[in-house]
Structure 1
Amino acid sequence: MEFNLADMFEVVADKVPEREALVCGAHRTTFGDLEKRANRMAHYLRSQGVKSGDHVGLYMYNCNEYMEAMLACFKIRAVPINVNYRYVKDELLYIFDNADMVACVHHREFAPHIAEIRSAAPDLKTFIAVDDDSGADLNAIGAVEYESAMNDQSDQRDFEARSGDDYFILYTGGTTGMPKGVMWPHKNVFFAAMGGGGHFSPNGPCEKPEDIETRVAENPLCGIALAPLMHGASWWYACIQLLAGNKLVLNDQHSLNAEHVWDVCEREKVNAVQIVGDAMAIPLLDALEANPGRWDLGTIFNVGSGGAVFSEAKQNGFRAHFPNVFITNSFGSSEGGQMGMDNGQKKSESGLGNVTRTEYMDVIIDDETPRRHAKPGETGIFARSGYIPVGYYNDPEKTAKTFVDVDGKKWLLTGDAAKLEEDTSITVFGRGSNCINSGGEKIFPEEVENALKAHDGIFDALVVATPDDRWGSKVTAVLQLREGVTLTMKDVQDHCRNHIAGYKVPRAVHVIAEVPRAPSGKPDYKTAKAYALSGEGEVA
């Protein structure tokens, strides 16, 4: 047995086959049934010539079939490729070409999009369509329906031995440029992003693959993942739950409907809610405020966030509604996995949170030759070593810039600016590439955004740099206000001065109907900056 996700899932499925594993809308399945259906899809893929190392696209909304297809790939040592369902033609062209797919499992409604760009992937021969209400024509790409594909397929395991070095490739859009495919070996992602199976066990992370059986919770918890499975944080959370023998609930809506989420949490007796930052926290809190006493949510004891900024104001909002809740704010990225967790115990004067420094988590000074580790008091780049990806697929140039040697050891540079404190803890500031240099002062947008979102009248906010004749760049806020709220520039600045230093306060404010974000909740700074530069919505 190896630290392979399929190997370990099979152990869990054998231990608790009758236990409920997965719920998405009206679809419910046990561990035993999930295992059998994944086996059948694995046999179908193999019958179509998909072999070890081949790449299979997963182009779907949240659904049971997403997890089945992903497990099926793992079982035959194929490599699943997440395809963002919001991508438009140019982005789809890029990923279908860059990822070298040979098969694609997709929702039926995406068949026309695939037909438009399939010439970019000449090796892509197999299409499997999960039915929906779209009625899209499957003949254009020769797709077979998902359930038909599994008819007459064996649900037995007769697959070759697997390896902990088998790949999962996670495509991440980031904030600029085309998507990048992060190449994660199974063993590395299991320890870097999933806690090594130790999140729900007093025994801690597994020492050997077989230990996963003893990490299966005797009394299973129920956790809901609200982000799309195509997003790394949600996929990792899904695997954490399933490998612990817990019940995983998926958001079955194509967007976040907060009232529906709380309906599901009440019905399924959810214990843990996994979100992606403030973009999800805000509507969830708004629904609770607007509907006092509507839901019995007494089973919830954890609200956790990862993958985007989770402001202190929104964390306090959840504490107000769930007095005994345990808040977890994880730092990490598609390349870094989970790189520490801030529980709010240590307050810093600035930054998004504070995490523990270890021999595998540090701050690297990247603008010196040779690169070196930061000394206490210095600011550099948040970095990780040990269990890290092997690079970006088909992109040696970006790999060389991101995965670097420091003192003979390989380190991943996350791109997040961070400071090594005098007590050797690490304060994380935010994406260094978005840092605003105003008259020589460095200002991190996320910190200003946190201050803005502490205002009751501001629904959401992004902060960008725009040109300034005197200072080179100025802090510019793009705000989505709550209904009926109007704010002047002075209102915004006076509020911010209560939370951040004067040089960080916005010097320009633009109001927008909806702050631009990806479906995962990640900020779209490019669109926000273009809006600000256009002069639209500027507030005096």
Structure 2
Amino acid sequence: MTVPVKVSDLLSRWERERPDTEALRFGGSSWTWRQLAERVRRAAAGLRANGIGPGDRIAVLDLNHPSCLELTLACAQIGAANAIVNFRLAPPEIVYVINDATARILFVGPEFAGAAEQIRDKLPSVERVLRLGGDADEYEALLGTHEPDTAVHPARPDDCFVQLYTSGTTGFPKGAMLTHRGVLAHSAAVATDFVLSDDDVVQIAMPLFHVGGTSYALVALYGGTRMVMLRMPDPVAVLDMLERERITHTFLVPALLAAITQIPGVEQRDFSALRALSYGASPMPLPVMRACLALFPGRLHQVYGMTEAAGVVSSLGPQDHENSAVAHRLVSAGTPIHGVEIEIRDPATGEPVPAGTPGEIWVRTEQLMSGYWGKPEATADTITPDGWLRSGDGGYLDADGYIYVTDRIKDMIISGGENIYPAEIERVLAEHPGIADVAVIGVPDDRWGEVPMAVVVAAPGASIDENELLAHGRKHLASFKCPKAVEVVDELPRNPTGKVLKKELRKPYWAGRERQVV
């Protein structure tokens, strides 16, 4: 295979080599490689006709749909970028992301048309809002209006074509600019390490705003592998598709797997085609791990990664899941995948530390983003001049080279695969008149891995009504970010410089757990 230098090269190859083979299935519709390539070229023509060119951004606000993937590939063809919006965000957060991306066209699914109308006057960069699906499908009309455009922008390897948002420690999301070089390096490594072939069938179940959705789809594209996409990751729908479509590869988050293991009769289902079930984005509770090992023996791959690295950087394969002699590795994140270097560095000095010594996980690979859109200082804080990404995750390497993620240096909470930063929640709760001080921590949860909890100090003369405070949070935050409980204390523990000692707040909740967030 000729080494691809642009993402557009992938689609062209499969159109040329297997034009009439099914490429993608969604609901009751399917497309061959030739049909998919033609739709992408029509989308490219439509974007160009609307003035979208190199360096421009569009945005998609929708549940999973092939149109989002088509628009990403169309952007790759014309030199633009697709900023995919997390549909789980609250309206003010959606406004921030679209404005931050300076998106010129906003594509919205039928479930979000009303919300888009309500925020339309707050989106100064958006010139057009086009509906996807439903009775007034303006996207299909756009494709039907334009003949396929075959011109391909001479993209450079480090040009961005898809922009995925990851929350920052300041509470504001940052747009990770994923590039042709980075995505192709990730796709090649994952396709190789997970033995993906053109005879396989990949399930796209996770949302496309997440690397577990879009990057996983692009891995399948790299391998010329048939894709089957779900609109929403419903446990029963995931299970039915695994069986019906003879899925060979899928990526799911632990919260979804926990729900799947509880479906009546699940052990009677036929998963004989499944060869690799990858899971990650949050800790797997050990009871769920045991149920999955029984249900999917020899197929589990734990993966650790990040948006800034286009997806996976390490994996723990089936052998380590099944070998009782190394059972301790079940709480590790495995070893680096092909093309990835991982070191543990002292967070203060940036110097490497010996095996077994905790520090910050640093990653170097061609998979890395080119930076955060419009945030050069945040980029410089994250990527060193010699190409190392400071992950913000704490951990250590054992003598065998296995990575153990032990904490979050950047204080991030991962709940059901979603990244949550306490600073964002704290900023909202601090606006409540009854609050004098607040800290948000992650506490264990058997379903979601961990969930946010607010530890608060009442303002003088005030009393805390837990339900009222939680309702206040729900007005301003996406539901998955809202604290699930409130603890009232007299004061927050702080160090001599005034920093809240969240380790002390978390300690009683994580005591006795094999996987620690300290």
Fold shared, TM-score > 0.5 on shorter chain: yes
Alignment match, 2:144: 151
Post-superposition Cα deviations, 1:204-224, rounded to whole Å, max 9, x if no partner, equal: xxxxxxxxxxxx935x11121
Question: 5 Å matches for 1:208-247?
Answer: 217-218=197-198, 220-247=199-226
* Separation (CA, whole Å) in 2 of partners of 1:111 and 1:232: 24
Kept in 1, the 8 Å contact 2:206–2:252? The answer is yes
Alignment match, 2:23: 21
Query: Which amino acid in structure 1 is aligned with residue 482 of structure 2?
Result: T
Query: Which amino acid in structure 1 is aligned with residue 248 of structure 2?
Result: N
Could you say if the C-alpha distance between residues 384 and 461 of structure 1 is closer, same or farther in structure 2, counting changes exceeding 3 Å? closer
Q: Secondary structure at the match of 2:362?
A: strand
* Separation (CA, whole Å) in 1 of partners of 2:295 and 2:340: 38
Displacement after TM superposition at 1:177 (Å): 1.3
Does the alignment pair 1:63 with 2:65? Answer: yes
Query: How many residues in Structure 1 have an aligned counterpart in Structure 2?
Result: 434
* Separation (CA, whole Å) in 1 of partners of 2:450 and 2:189: 31
Structure 2 residues without counterparts, runs of 5 or longer? 414-440, 458-469, 490-508, 510-518
Displacement after TM superposition at 1:301 (Å): 2.4
Query: Which amino acid in structure 2 is aligned with residue 296 of structure 1?
Result: D
Query: Which amino acid in structure 1 is aligned with residue 139 of structure 2?
Result: Y
Alignment match, 1:317: 291
Kept in 1, the 8 Å contact 2:303–2:314? The answer is yes
Does the alignment pair 1:275 with 2:252? Answer: yes
Displacement after TM superposition at 1:363 (Å): 1.0
* Separation (CA, whole Å) in 2 of partners of 1:241 and 1:359: 20
* Separation (CA, whole Å) in 2 of partners of 1:465 and 1:424: 34
Post-superposition Cα deviations, 1:168-227, rounded to whole Å, max 9, x if no partner, equal: 2211236871211011221122213652753466xxxxxxxxxxxxxx935x11121221
Question: 5 Å matches for 1:427-466?
Answer: 427-434=404-411, 449=444, 453=446, 459-460=447-448, 462=450
Could you say if the C-alpha distance between residues 389 and 467 of structure 1 is closer, same or farther in structure 2, counting changes exceeding 3 Å? same
Alignment match, 1:527: 482
Q: TM-score, normalised by structure 2?
A: 0.75
Alignment match, 2:341: 360
1:183 to 169, 172, 177: 177
* Separation (CA, whole Å) in 2 of partners of 1:176 and 1:301: 41
Could you say if the C-alpha distance between residues 281 and 66 of structure 1 is closer, same or farther in structure 2, counting changes exceeding 3 Å? same
- Higher deviation after alignment, 38-47 or 393-402: 393-402
Kept in 1, the 8 Å contact 2:332–2:403? The answer is no
Query: Which amino acid in structure 1 is aligned with residue 347 of structure 2?
Result: D
* Separation (CA, whole Å) in 2 of partners of 1:380 and 1:125: 46
Query: Which amino acid in structure 1 is aligned with residue 343 of structure 2?
Result: D
1:172 to 159, 166, 171: 166
Displacement after TM superposition at 1:159 (Å): 3.0
Kept in 2, the 8 Å contact 1:310–1:329? The answer is no
Displacement after TM superposition at 1:109 (Å): 3.7
Kept in 2, the 8 Å contact 1:360–1:384? The answer is yes
Alignment match, 1:161: 154
Kept in 2, the 8 Å contact 1:355–1:427? The answer is no
1:104 to 103, 106, 110: 106
Q: Secondary structure at the match of 1:296?
A: coil
Alignment match, 2:376: 396
* Separation (CA, whole Å) in 2 of partners of 1:193 and 1:309: 24
Kept in 2, the 8 Å contact 1:363–1:426? The answer is no
* Separation (CA, whole Å) in 1 of partners of 2:152 and 2:293: 48
Displacement after TM superposition at 1:156 (Å): 4.7
Kept in 1, the 8 Å contact 2:274–2:299? The answer is no
* Separation (CA, whole Å) in 2 of partners of 1:191 and 1:126: 34
Could you say if the C-alpha distance between residues 375 and 39 of structure 1 is closer, same or farther in structure 2, counting changes exceeding 3 Å? same
Does the alignment pair 1:333 with 2:309? Answer: no
Could you say if the C-alpha distance between residues 2 and 84 of structure 1 is closer, same or farther in structure 2, counting changes exceeding 3 Å? same
Kept in 2, the 8 Å contact 1:27–1:64? The answer is no
Post-superposition Cα deviations, 1:258-290, rounded to whole Å, max 9, x if no partner, equal: 2222222222111222102x2111111111xx1
Displacement after TM superposition at 1:44 (Å): 0.7
Query: Which amino acid in structure 1 is aligned with residue 348 of structure 2?
Result: D
Supply the RMSD in Å over aligned alpha carbons: 3.3
Query: Which amino acid in structure 2 is aligned with residue 421 of structure 1?
Result: D
* Separation (CA, whole Å) in 1 of partners of 2:412 and 2:171: 17
Could you say if the C-alpha distance between residues 260 and 8 of structure 1 is closer, same or farther in structure 2, counting changes exceeding 3 Å? closer
* Separation (CA, whole Å) in 2 of partners of 1:227 and 1:28: 19
Kept in 2, the 8 Å contact 1:362–1:426? The answer is no
* Separation (CA, whole Å) in 2 of partners of 1:466 and 1:59: 30
Could you say if the C-alpha distance between residues 272 and 4 of structure 1 is closer, same or farther in structure 2, counting changes exceeding 3 Å? same
Query: Which amino acid in structure 1 is aligned with residue 284 of structure 2?
Result: F
Displacement after TM superposition at 1:424 (Å): 4.4
Displacement after TM superposition at 1:52 (Å): 1.0
Q: Secondary structure at the match of 1:94?
A: helix
Structure 1 residues without counterparts, runs of 5 or longer? 136-143, 202-215, 437-444, 454-458, 470-511, 517-521
Could you say if the C-alpha distance between residues 7 and 271 of structure 1 is closer, same or farther in structure 2, counting changes exceeding 3 Å? same
Does the alignment pair 1:295 with 2:269? Answer: yes
* Separation (CA, whole Å) in 2 of partners of 1:105 and 1:5: 22
Displacement after TM superposition at 1:412 (Å): 0.7
Post-superposition Cα deviations, 1:431-466, rounded to whole Å, max 9, x if no partner, equal: 233489xxxxxxxx98x84xx74xxxxx45526677
Post-superposition Cα deviations, 1:396-446, rounded to whole Å, max 9, x if no partner, equal: 3322322234xxx2311111111132344432224233489xxxxxxxx98
Query: Which amino acid in structure 2 is aligned with residue 51 of structure 1?
Result: G
* Separation (CA, whole Å) in 1 of partners of 2:187 and 2:285: 22
* Separation (CA, whole Å) in 2 of partners of 1:420 and 1:240: 27
Does the alignment pair 1:265 with 2:238? Answer: no
Q: Secondary structure at the match of 1:391?
A: coil
Query: Which amino acid in structure 2 is aligned with residue 146 of structure 1?
Result: Y
Query: Which amino acid in structure 1 is aligned with residue 406 of structure 2?
Result: F
Kept in 2, the 8 Å contact 1:62–1:228? The answer is yes
Query: Which amino acid in structure 2 is aligned with residue 164 of structure 1?
Result: P
Provide the identity percentage.
23
* Separation (CA, whole Å) in 2 of partners of 1:275 and 1:127: 31
